[in-house]
Amino acid sequence: MIKSKIEGDKLFLSYIPHEVGRTLHNVRNSPEIRDWCRQTGLIDDNQQKNWLEKISEDPSIRMYAICLENKVLGICGLTDIDHLNQRAEFSLYIFPAEQRKGYAKSALKALFDHGFSELNLNTIWGETFAGNPAMKLFQSIGMQMEGKRRNFYFKNGKFIDAFLVSITREEFQNASD
The pLDDT confidence band at residue 3, using thresholds 50, 70 and 90, is very low
Nearest to 13 by CA among 51, 64, 62: 64
CB atoms within 10 A of CB 78: 23
Q: 134-171: per-residue pLDDT in tens? A: 999 999 999 999 999 999 999 989 999 999 999 999 99
| In CATH, 5-176 is 3.40.630.30 | yes
Q: Which of 30-44, 68-82, 121-135 comes out lowest in average pLDDT?
A: 30-44
Sorted by where each begins, the domain ranges of the chain are: 5-176
**Cα–Cα dist 131/35, whole Å:** 11
Check pLDDT > 80 for residue 125: yes
Is the CA virtual torsion 35, 61, 11, 172 positive or negative? Answer: negative
Q: 45-88: per-residue pLDDT in tens? A: 889 888 888 988 999 999 999 998 888 999 999 999 999 999 99
| Interior angle at CA 1, CA 144 and CA 103, nearest 5 | 45
Bridging pattern class, strands 123-129 and 87-94: parallel
